[in-house]
């Protein structure tokens, strides 16, 4: 037997890239590669990239520049770029950075082993096709390899919403749902391998409409089917669009025991004028009413969001509306970004907001979010919640995990092991995590 070749993957961006990197590592396992933790050890380096904002995309080129020395030392080293930058700028990458051997877009990962062989033969390989076939069918994992207690599972990919600022519909393509039986089979396999919590992934995961034996299933129906899998303890999903929060999904948040009380529901702005220009097709008021209905179904649910400040033509009054919406909702967590011009998107053509003004708005918004997050976390003290332990902590005897509401949490002198779900009474709240004792 020949010694395995070594693969180093660096992942940028969203959780779907994390999932895709796992699938690519497994596909390359079939081609004789094992994963390593350092680029210096590798026979092949893969960057799984993100194109959502300019900063993320530019990182790729600076990272590639750093591999020059490695490639000089080891001429056989192959370097590949995957992910959304590969999709959007494939040919430009090949032009700008001659040390790149292969470029593979997110819908072509199942062809990676074949591309690697071409690169080994001295060819430059580029594949950014978006074929109709289900790539995941060709990216089956090696059976029974042991897994940690939490896992991502992609059920839906792509987006048809075309928000005016966003590259996703172009880099990930049209919205596609995976069939029900494949999702359930993958979930059962994960549970057999030790997984206790599954986070269903999709760019518009709540628009899921996968084919089942009796027609298309909604996300809620899929969640109820997952709820029946013995050994699976927790279900989460991300990311959702307000317009796809259907009644059955809202109801599941109240009734489905394994569905966790956490919902990431981006609104982007609190101003109707800006929402319209963003092509969001919902209003501030419809979002606020939706939050009310979700909280009526599950009063303790933690709401998380995404915000963009400095979108073209955003005025002080628009921004004030966003701040006001944040005060009304009370976010347990939120991610906020300064608008970044993305080539090819409609908003890129419009009058841009002064960058310093946008910076000031971002700071103000982030200060408010931090205050809300901290207040929500502090309010957990004294409560008893479920915690899934994921790994040992820094101190001897300490275990760390996540609460039902996705707060990081640690327990000192903890008798519970990795993968155990226990009830924990929260005793204190620190800057980044909660501390508790087993109840």
Both tokens of 1, joined, read 């037997």
Binding region for ligand 5AD (CB under 6 A):
52-53, 165-166, 266, 268, 306, 308, 337, 339-340, 342
Q: Of these partners, ligand 5AD, ligand SF4, none, which one is at the site of residue 376 (CB under 5 to 8 Å by kind)?
A: none
Which residues are bridge partners to 48 per DSSP?
Answer: 11, 82
How many residues of this chain interact with ligand SF4, rule: CB under 6 A?
10
Per-residue binder mask for ligand SF4 (CB under 6 A), 175-214, x = binder: ----------------------------xx----------
- Shortest reach from residue 339's CB to ligand 5AD, in Å: 5
C-beta closer to ligand 5AD: residue 165 or 217:
165
Distance of CA 317 to the CA centre of its chain: 32
Side by side, which strands form the sheet with 262-264? Answer: 262-264, 302-309, 333-338
Which alpha helices (DSSP H) does 379-419 contain, by range? none
- Shortest reach from residue 352's CB to ligand SF4, in Å: 19
Side by side, which strands form the sheet with 125-127? Answer: 33-35, 5-11, 44-49, 78-82, 102-104, 125-127
Q: Of these partners, ligand 5AD, ligand SF4, none, which one is at the site of residue 161 (CB under 5 to 8 Å by kind)?
A: ligand SF4
Q: Of these partners, ligand SF4, ligand 5AD, none, which one is at the site of residue 237 (CB under 5 to 8 Å by kind)?
A: none
C-beta closer to ligand 5AD: residue 63 or 306:
306
Q: Whats the size of the chain, residue-wise?
A: 439
Both tokens of 395, joined, read 């101190």
C-beta closer to ligand 5AD: residue 81 or 265:
265
Under rule CB under 6 A, which residues in 236-295 are in contact with ligand SF4?
241
Q: What is the dihedral of CA 423, 426, 430, 433, to 10 degrees?
A: 10
Q: Of these partners, ligand SF4, ligand 5AD, none, which one is at the site of residue 26 (CB under 5 to 8 Å by kind)?
A: none
Which residue's Cβ has the minimum distance to ligand 5AD? 306
CA distance 131 to 113: 17
Q: Of these partners, ligand 5AD, ligand SF4, none, which one is at the site of residue 342 (CB under 5 to 8 Å by kind)?
A: ligand 5AD
DSSP secondary structure letter of residue 268: B
Q: Of these partners, ligand 5AD, ligand SF4, none, which one is at the site of residue 241 (CB under 5 to 8 Å by kind)?
A: ligand SF4
Both tokens of 177, joined, read 């749902």
- Given candidates 10, 118, 120, 161, which one binds ligand SF4 under the rule CB under 6 A? 161
Provide the phi-psi class of 344: left if phi over 0, else alpha when psi is between -120 and 50, else beta.
Answer: left
Q: Of these partners, ligand 5AD, ligand SF4, none, which one is at the site of residue 206 (CB under 5 to 8 Å by kind)?
A: none
Choices 125-133, 155-163, 327-335, 361-369; region in contact with ligand SF4 by CB under 6 A: 155-163
Distance of CA 21 to the CA centre of its chain: 12
- Shortest reach from residue 319's CB to ligand 5AD, in Å: 15
Contact 377, 385 (CB under 8 A): no
CA distance 22 to 41: 19
Rg (CA), the chain: 22
Under rule CB under 6 A, which residues in 361-380 are in contact with ligand SF4?
none
């Amino acid at each position: 037997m020949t010694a395995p070749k070594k693969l180093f993957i660096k992942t940028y961006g969203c959780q779907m890239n994390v999932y895709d990197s796992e699938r690519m590592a497994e596909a390359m396992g079939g081609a004789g590669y094992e994963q390593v933790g350092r680029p210096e050890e590798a026979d092949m380096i893969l960057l799984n990239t993100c194109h959502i904002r300019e900063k993320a995309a530019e990182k790729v080129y600076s990272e590639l520049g750093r591999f020059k020395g490695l490639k000089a030392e080891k001429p056989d080293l192959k370097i590949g770029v995957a992910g959304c930058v590969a999709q959007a700028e494939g040919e430009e990458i090949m032009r700008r950075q001659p040390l790149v051997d292969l470029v593979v877009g997110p819908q072509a990962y199942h062809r990676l082993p074949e591309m690697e062989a071409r690169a080994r033969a001295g060819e430059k390989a580029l594949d950014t096709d978006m074929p109709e076939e289900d790539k995941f069918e060709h990216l089956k994992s090696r059976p029974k390899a042991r897994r940690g207690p939490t896992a991502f599972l992609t059920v839906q990919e792509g987006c048809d919403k075309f928000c005016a600022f966003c590259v996703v519909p172009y880099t990930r393509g049209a919205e596609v749902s995976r069939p029900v039986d494949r999702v359930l089979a993958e979930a059962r396999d994960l549970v057999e391998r030790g997984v206790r919590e599954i986070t269903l992934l999709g760019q518009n995961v709540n628009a899921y409409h996968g084919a089942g034996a009796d027609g298309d299933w909604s996300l809620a129906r899929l969640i109820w089917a997952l709820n029946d899998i013995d050994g699976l303890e927790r279900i989460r999903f991300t990311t959702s669009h307000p317009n796809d929060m259907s009644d059955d999904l809202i109801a599941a948040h109240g009734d489905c025991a394994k569905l966790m009380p956490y919902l990431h529901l981006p609104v982007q702005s609190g101003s109707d004028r800006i929402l319209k220009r963003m092509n969001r097709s919902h209003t501030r008021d419809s979002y606020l009413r939706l939050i009310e209905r979700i909280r009526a179904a599950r009063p303790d649910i933690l709401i998380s969001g995404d915000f963009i400040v400095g979108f073209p033509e955003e005025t002080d009054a628009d921004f004030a509306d966003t701040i006001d919406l944040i005060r009304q909702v009370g976010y347990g967590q939120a991610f906020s970004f300064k608008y970044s011009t993305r080539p090819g998107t409609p908003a890129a053509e419009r009058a841009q907001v002064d960058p310093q003004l946008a910076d000031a708005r971002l700071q103000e918004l982030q200060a408010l979010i931090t205050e809300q997050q901290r207040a929500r976390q502090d309010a957990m003290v004294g409560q008893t919640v479920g915690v899934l332990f994921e790994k040992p902590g820094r101190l001897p005897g300490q275990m760390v995990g996540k609460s039902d509401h996705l707060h990081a949490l640690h327990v000192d002198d903890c008798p519970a092991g990795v993968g155990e779900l226990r009830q924990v009474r929260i005793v204190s709240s620190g800057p980044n995590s909660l501390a508790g004792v087993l109840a």
